[in-house]
Structure formats: C-alpha cells, structure tokens
A and B are shown apart, each in its own frame.
Chain A
Amino acid sequence: MSETANQGAPLAQGDKSGSGGFITTKIEELVNWGRRNALWPMPFGTACCAIEMMATLSSRYDLSRFGAEVIRFSPRQSDLMIVSGRISIKMMPVLIEIYNQMPEPKWCISMGACASSGGVFDTYTLVQGVDQFIPVDVYIPGCPPRPESLIDAVMLIRDKIKRGERQNRLYDRTKHPLDFQPVNLVSDAASGAPTLTGTRHSLPNKDATE
C-alpha cells in the first residue's frame, strides 16, 4: 500500500481499538503488499552459496525480518527461486522442471558467480549462467556472496513486486531440455561449419534463426 492510500488523519494510540476505521487502496496494490511481505523461497542450493543462504535464514541475519523465512522444499508452495551454487548440465533439466512447477507469479535470484556466469568453472559440464534457461530477476555477485548480499537481493525483489512488474512467462514444453541431445562440433568442423570455441557469447543464437 502506498502512503497516499491512507485517508484522513492518523489515529491516536488510544483510538487503535481494532474495531473502527477503514482504508482504501487498489486491489492490485493490496495483493502486491501481501506478496512482497510473504515471499516463500524455494532453495536450490547445490554448492557453498547454499551455506551462506542457510546463514541468511538463521538467527544472526534473520531473513524473517523481511517475511521470507518460510523455506518450502516443495516448488508448488513457493514463489521465489534462489539458485545458489553451480549447476551442471545434468542438473539444469531438474532446475527447469522445478522452476516450471512453481506457480505464477514467481521470481528468481541467481546467487553467486557460478549460478550467474559459471564462475571459475569454465568447463565442459557446467552451465555458464542459469539465465540461459530460466528468467532471472536479480543476480548476486560474489564467491560466495555474504548473507547481506542475499538480503539485498530479497529487498530488490520486494521493490520489484512493489512496482507491480508483471511476471508473465510461459514455456515451450516441446523444447524441454530433458530431451538433451549433444552436438558433435568436431565433425561439424570437418564439413566447413564454424567451430564453436570460447564462451557461450560466441555461439550462434538458435532462437533468432528459427
């Protein structure tokens, strides 16, 4: 609720009986107020970032101050995916499956260098940034980030909900990555096709050509 939603003079302490008074607001703002004060995170912890995530939830950093302490290990009951840790190509389909199971509206935090960009693991098995496959709202730098960084990311998510930015994403289930088919680029090179080296940014955009 915005500050202007309140009508009239503020109540004195003695008048706050709970029986009288009313507020007017927009239903969307009321819903967003509820959403941002009761974020239920879905922890997807696969590495050392998850340790920092646990510390954030514990009493010293106390994520419950921001209403986001109810960790749900069921994606059906959560609306904030926290990807904390490195994601291998074998784990990525699992992550997408869980993300697709979360009900709308949902948000996603990519926590740490590995989830955001692959980090130091520039290898054959590691996804170079989960944002290639699922939409990410907030990236947290760090290796691993401190709990304050995660709290800051949750605050940014809260701001985003407060601004009422719509999360409306649908997925093409026919292109599900569980039908994983590796490409053999060595044989492609023999046929004159360009060899793919370096980072993912040098790869041709398949979506653009289709």
Chain B
Amino acid sequence: MAVDFKELEKRIREKLGADVLDWTDFRGQACLLVKREAIVRTLLALREDAEGRFDMFTDLTCLDTLRAPDELIPKSGERFVVVYHLTGTESKARIRVKACVPEEPPEIDTATGVYLGANWAEREVFDMFGVVFKGHPDLRRILMPEAYEGHPLRKDYPLKGRGERDNFPKYTEIPEA
C-alpha cells in the first residue's frame, strides 16, 4: 500500500500548522522543512501517522552550508541543516525531514525520545559538525578520540587537520652501551 503523500502533507500540515516551513516533492521523494523548535513534534507526528507509520529511524546527517552554492543555503540564513531520514517498515514509504540550525548556538532538541536509534547518529553529527542535541542521554564523541578538539566535517576545518595527526610522542631509541 503506497502512501498518498498529498494526503500525508495535508494531515501533517493540519497537525503542525505554521511549524511546517516547506514541503517539496522531488521525483516522488517527499521532503519537509520544519522549524527547529518543532523537530520532536514533527518526528512524533510522522511516527504516529496512521497511514505512513514512519517507525524506523534510517539516518541522520547534517549539511554545513558555509561556502555552499546559493541554492543550498537556507533562506533564513542558518549555517547548518540537520536532515532526518525516516522509513515506514509497513508502508515502505520514506521521507526526509530537515531543520535549520544556526551557527551560534548550534542546538536542536534530541530525537532520542522518539527514536532510540537516533542515539549514535546524533553523536556522530555532534562529533563531525558540533551540533548539540539538547537532552541527549550521552552526547560524547563517537568517531574521533575523546580529547579531540574541533569538528572536522565543518567546512572551515582544514582537511589536513591542525597538527593532531603528528602530535604523538615519538618513540625513543636508547643506543646500545
């Protein structure tokens, strides 16, 4: 049973009202842009939707629009765009949810209350982009070493790093007596 995305849009807009900033449909892929403050409400509404039942948290990623082409930069001027990918395991439907996060403070509410699977995905986005997920139970780095400074997938981070890869103590060879 295919989900009628026109009907879905109508239901979600009715439920969220002005929180839905944009709803695009590109080659059958639905994508909605919501206010940052409404992200948990949106995810909950999609999960509880009677027809779509987006019950699987597929992926979470982030977009740093610094020095990006104009069409990628949000009209409201925020730097980061957090993208949630959801799947309905029964309806076989997929949907993207986007929310814009400003550079300062880079904060958004956590989705772990709605999807447990968002835990590590949010840790990865925090590690790579420095987006803080408020209310996350365990917001630590997941890929980089704990003592690492900076968020390497930000576009203003140098590709070769800031010397971290060389800053290990060298081995010392003790000459034979």
Contacts and interface: CB of A to CB of B under 8 A. Distances in A.
Contacts of B169: 133, 172, 175-177
Contacts of A183: 162-164, 167
A96 B160 CA distance: 23
Interface of B is mostly: loop
Interface string B163-177: 111111111111010
B23 interface: no
Interface in B30-45: none
B144 A177 contact: no
B172 A128 contact: no
A181 B168 CA distance: 8
Nearest to A203: B166
A90 B145 contact: yes
Taking each of B161, B168, B173, which has the highest tally of chain A beta carbons within 10 Å of its own beta carbon? B168
B2 interface: no
B82 to A, nearest CB: 22
Contact of A89 (B165, B170, B174): B165
Interface stretch (A27-35, A49-57, A117-125): A117-125
Contacts of B145: 89-90, 180
Contacts of A197: 160
Contacts of B1: none
A183 B161 CA distance: 10
Contact of B165 (A128, A134, A169): A128
B17 interface: no
Contact of A184 (B157, B162, B166, B168): B162
B126 to A, nearest CB: 16
Interface string B70-91: 0000000000000000000000
Interface of A: 89-90, 92-93, 96, 122-128, 132-135, 166, 168-172, 175-177, 180-186, 196-198, 200, 203, 206-207
